[in-house]
């Protein structure tokens, strides 16, 4: 290819090998006239046979229901990690025709979500993505071979903000969706009752019965100074802003909750206090259902919390309807509460028993897997990685490789001395008071504790060399799925033009875990001993006194920092993982543990004292 025209021709030829999209015009009544909506579809059944014929995927297909167990130290506990480990899959397979040998379900997941189709955000559409649930989640939720396939684009042109939420406009979109779905599923209707033969890679002939296991479709739906966290989108504004990624609404629900705790007080604003309680229960449910692996314990917790959520929702509705505050909405639909609509809808179709368990066994991946990874989401991460300062662009790349060991330092600074650190840092920061004496005391206690016998007191001179770093990766085993996970922590006075000093969850002593504020990472060499990797930290180990009613009602975990002058040193290996703490706006030195950042932190905090 020598020029742009040849490149375009090659791309067109490659595209011709794929199943093309078909354009449809769907008419629906709106405001007393017929409105035409453009829809592009590619039948699901044109994609499914290609998936089955792919030799790379053939060994990975799972056809039969499974029940898997893990010993929790006392007994074997059933857990749910893949769709075929859920009871619903077992029930489906049991109901297939008994007179058909090797009758097995061929399960699909269908996902639709609104996104912007123009840079101005004025043209929007719904990409419809299909995925095969018979493949492991790492495959069908990837961007590689076997990942999801876009089978439709539903266009709503133009957006009508004034009509948003009104019955006519909602009906229009419902008609468009149902008419479009018929185009997607038409070719596979015949096989729903009869099944079809398929010779698997092990030469066994199976009768596959196609069905949609999960249908996930999004409905249309203030942060003061929230600390930055790599896994949370940081908002600069939230009102009248349209987001492409539904995950941003989940992040927003976390970030509005904690600042609002100091504003919507029970005595001053009963309605707001009830709303906070509702959001608190929502976050609990969201974190529980988002766990990649479910166990009998987590299913029971969902069942219990769902009752709490329904009770708080009813209490809020009753209070809001009788409130003197004008304009309060009783149809609580924020943030992303459509998940509970799935729950309530299924409750209406079930026998009324074990509702939460039934929901999860049918739809447990609705939030857990975040099915659609759009191009804009990848670009956001890539752009952030490429625009980092210092050496962070390489260390924080989306396409980074893993590393061995527990910790890895990055973004090194210029070598300095123990005396130089204090001179270069903020002279008003009491964390650096008596730094050399404090470090000398620490080294003389620390070295013997790791097996280095000291024949005399080690003296640290003023020109003792220190090598600081701005960045640390920490590997840890997630207690959700028992796989390796990585946190990225910062100690940087100028991270994207602003100071950022992250927090961590550490093994402070052999029997005590605690939270700390990171001040600096560094390495040093003591005589003939091996290189030491250490951090200067401010522990959150001060007593917070008696638990308040607010903490109990909202399931908050409060920690209090020791005075800045009581900073101490820890070995990097003692860092268990990163942590996000939100400063309590009304209590000096106290912070709230944000346990909803991921499943591991959520579960760890359930047993932490």
Q: Are the CB atoms for 151 and 43 separated by under 8 Å? A: yes
Which residues are registered as beta bridge partners of 581?
593
Structure confidence at residue 600 (pLDDT):
95
Ranges of H-type helices in 186-262: 191-194, 247-260
Q: Are the CB atoms for 282 and 274 separated by under 8 Å? A: no
Percent of the chain with pLDDT over 90: 31
Q: Is 414 exposed, middle or buried (0-12, 13-18, 19+ CB in 10 A)?
A: exposed
Structure confidence at residue 236 (pLDDT):
63
Question: Which own/partner pairs from 479-484 qualify as long-range (CB within 8 Å, at least 24 positions apart)?
Answer: 479/600, 479/603, 479/604, 480/291, 480/292, 480/293, 480/599, 480/600, 480/603, 481/81, 481/292, 481/293, 484/402
- Spatial separation of the C-alpha atoms in residues 570 and 449, rounded to whole Å: 12
- Residue 486: partners with Cβ closer than 8 Å, 6 or more residues away: 402, 473, 474, 475, 476
Residue 426 pLDDT more than 50? yes
Structure confidence at residue 533 (pLDDT):
95
Mean pLDDT, residues 254-273: 85
Residues 538-581 have pLDDT tens digits of 999 998 876 677 888 899 999 999 999 999 999 999 999 999 99
- Spatial separation of the C-alpha atoms in residues 53 and 51, rounded to whole Å: 5
- Spatial separation of the C-alpha atoms in residues 466 and 413, rounded to whole Å: 10
For residue 455, give both structure tokens.
């024949």
Residue 259 pLDDT more than 80? yes
Sequence spans of domains, the chain: 18-220, 240-386, 391-606
Other CB atoms within a 10 A radius of the CB of residue 246 amount to: 22
Structure confidence at residue 173 (pLDDT):
74
Structure confidence at residue 194 (pLDDT):
83
- Residue 209: partners with Cβ closer than 8 Å, 6 or more residues away: 96, 103, 104, 105, 106, 191, 192, 195
- Residue 52: partners with Cβ closer than 8 Å, 6 or more residues away: 58, 61, 198
Say which range, 173-187, 324-338, 397-411, 443-457, has the weakest mean pLDDT. 324-338
Q: What is the DSSP string of 162-183?
A: GGTTSHHHHHHHHHHHHHHHHH
C-alpha distance from residue 68 to each of 74, 83, 484 (Å)? 16, 12, 20
- Spatial separation of the C-alpha atoms in residues 39 and 183, rounded to whole Å: 10
- Spatial separation of the C-alpha atoms in residues 120 and 125, rounded to whole Å: 13
Residue 23 pLDDT more than 90? no
Question: Nearest CA to 342 among 361, 322, 366?
Answer: 366
Nearest 10 degrees: Cα torsion 262, 266, 269, 270 = 140
Residues 186-229 have pLDDT tens digits of 778 878 888 888 888 888 888 899 988 887 765 443 347 688 88
pLDDT band per the 50, 70, 90 thresholds, residue 381: very low
If you compute the radius of gyration of the chain from its CA atoms, what whole number of angstroms results? 28
- Spatial separation of the C-alpha atoms in residues 592 and 259, rounded to whole Å: 10
- Spatial separation of the C-alpha atoms in residues 552 and 199, rounded to whole Å: 57
pLDDT band per the 50, 70, 90 thresholds, residue 400: very low
- Spatial separation of the C-alpha atoms in residues 414 and 333, rounded to whole Å: 52
Residue 365 pLDDT more than 50? no
Q: In a 3-state reduction of DSSP, which class is residue 609?
A: coil
Other CB atoms within a 10 A radius of the CB of residue 524 amount to: 17
Structure confidence at residue 245 (pLDDT):
60
- Spatial separation of the C-alpha atoms in residues 292 and 320, rounded to whole Å: 36
Residue 390 pLDDT more than 70? no
For residue 367, give both structure tokens.
């939030």
Q: What is the DSSP string of 342-370?
A: HHHHHHHHS-SSSHHHHHHHHHTHHHHS-
For residue 20, give both structure tokens.
């093309």
Structure confidence at residue 419 (pLDDT):
85
Structure confidence at residue 215 (pLDDT):
75
Question: Nearest CA to 211 among 136, 135, 105?
Answer: 105
Backbone torsions φ then ψ of 488, nearest 5 degrees: -120, 115
- Spatial separation of the C-alpha atoms in residues 9 and 506, rounded to whole Å: 57
429: left (phi over 0), alpha (psi -120 to 50) or beta: beta
- Spatial separation of the C-alpha atoms in residues 26 and 365, rounded to whole Å: 31
Question: Nearest CA to 594 among 607, 605, 609, 585?
Answer: 605
Average pLDDT over the chain, rounded to an integer: 79
Mean pLDDT, residues 441-449: 92
Percent of the chain with pLDDT over 70: 79
- Burial of 478-496, coded b for 16+ CB within 10 Å and e otherwise, reads bbbeeeebebbbbbbeebe
Pairing of strands 294-295, 115-116: unpaired
- Spatial separation of the C-alpha atoms in residues 307 and 327, rounded to whole Å: 27
- Spatial separation of the C-alpha atoms in residues 563 and 171, rounded to whole Å: 59
- Spatial separation of the C-alpha atoms in residues 342 and 377, rounded to whole Å: 25
pLDDT band per the 50, 70, 90 thresholds, residue 396: very low
Instruction: Compute the C-alpha angle 142/147/148, nearest 5°.
Output: 115
Structure confidence at residue 469 (pLDDT):
95
Which residues are registered as beta bridge partners of 474?
407, 487
Other CB atoms within a 10 A radius of the CB of residue 362 amount to: 21
- Residue 308: partners with Cβ closer than 8 Å, 6 or more residues away: 281, 284
Question: Nearest CA to 137 among 478, 368, 356, 294?
Answer: 368
Residues 39-96 have pLDDT tens digits of 888 778 878 888 888 889 999 999 999 999 988 888 898 888 899 998 889 989 999 9
Rounded to two decimals, what is the model's pTM?
0.69
């Amino acid at each position: 290819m020598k020029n742009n025209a040849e490149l375009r021709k090659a791309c067109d030829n490659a595209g011709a090998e794929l199943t093309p999209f078909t354009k449809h015009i769907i008419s629906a009544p709106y405001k007393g006239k017929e409105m035409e909506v453009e829809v592009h579809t590619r039948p699901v059944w044109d994609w499914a046979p290609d998936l089955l014929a792919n030799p790379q995927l053939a060994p990975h297909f799972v056809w039969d229901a499974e029940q898997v167990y893990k010993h929790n130290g006392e007994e074997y506990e059933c857990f749910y990690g893949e769709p075929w480990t859920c009871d619903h899959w077992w029930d489906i397979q049991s109901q297939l025709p008994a007179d058909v040998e090797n009758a097995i379900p061929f399960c699909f997941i269908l996902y639709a979500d609104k996104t912007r189709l123009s840079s101005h955000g004025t043209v929007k559409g719904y990409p419809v993505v299909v995925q095969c649930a018979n493949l492991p989640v790492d495959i069908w939720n990837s961007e590689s071979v076997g990942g999801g396939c876009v089978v439709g684009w539903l266009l709503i042109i133009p957006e009508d903000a004034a009509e948003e939420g009104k019955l006519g406009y909602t009906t229009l979109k419902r008609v468009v969706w149902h008419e479009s779905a018929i185009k997607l599923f038409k070719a596979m209707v015949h096989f729903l009752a009869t099944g079809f033969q398929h010779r698997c890679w092990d030469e066994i002939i199976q009768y596959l019965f196609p069905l949609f296991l999960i249908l996930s479709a999004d409905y249309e739906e203030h942060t003061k100074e929230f600390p930055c966290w790599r896994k949370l989108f940081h908002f600069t504004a939230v009102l009248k802003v349209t987001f492409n990624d539904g995950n941003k609404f989940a992040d927003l629900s976390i970030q509005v909750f904690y600042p609002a705790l100091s504003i919507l007080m029970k005595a001053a604003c009963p309605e707001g206090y009830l709303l906070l309680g509702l959001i608190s229960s929502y976050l609990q449910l969201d974190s529980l259902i988002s766990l990649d692996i479910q166990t009998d314990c987590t299913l029971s917790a969902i069942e219990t919390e769902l009752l709490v959520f329904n009770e708080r929702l009813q209490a809020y509705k009753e209070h809001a309807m009788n409130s003197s505050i004008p304009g309060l909405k009783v149809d609580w639909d924020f943030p992303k509460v459509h998940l509970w609509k799935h729950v309530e809808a299924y409750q209406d179709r079930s026998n009324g028993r074990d509702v939460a368990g039934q929901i999860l066994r049918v739809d447990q991946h609705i939030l857990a897997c975040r099915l659609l990874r759009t191009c804009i989401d990848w670009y956001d991460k890539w752009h952030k990685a490429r625009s980092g300062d210092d050496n962070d662009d390489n260390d924080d790349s989306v396409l980074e490789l893993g590393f061995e060991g527990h910790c890895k330092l990055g973004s090194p600074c210029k070598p300095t001395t123990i005396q130089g650190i204090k001179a270069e840092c903020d002279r008003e920061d009491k964390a650096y008071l008596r730094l050399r004496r404090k470090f000398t005391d620490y080294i003389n206690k620390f070295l013997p504790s790791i097996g280095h016998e000291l024949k005399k007191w080690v003296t640290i001179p003023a020109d003792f060399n220190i090598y600081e770093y701005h960045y640390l990766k920490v590997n840890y085993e997630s207690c959700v799925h028992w796989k390796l996970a990585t946190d990225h922590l910062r100690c940087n006075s100028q991270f994207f033009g602003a100071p950022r000093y992250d927090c961590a969850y550490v093994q402070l002593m052999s029997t005590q875990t605690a939270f700390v504020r990171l001040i600096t990472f560094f390495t040093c060499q003591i005589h003939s001993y091996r290189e030491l990797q250490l951090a200067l930290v401010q522990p959150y180990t001060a007593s917070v006194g008696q638990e308040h009613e607010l903490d109990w009602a909202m399931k908050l975990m409060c920690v209090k920092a020791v005075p800045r002058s009581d900073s101490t040193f820890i070995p990097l290996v003692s860092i268990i993982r990163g942590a996000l703490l939100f400063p309590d706006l009304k209590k000096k030195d106290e912070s709230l543990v944000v346990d909803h950042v991921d499943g591991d932190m959520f579960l760890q905090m359930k047993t932490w004292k």
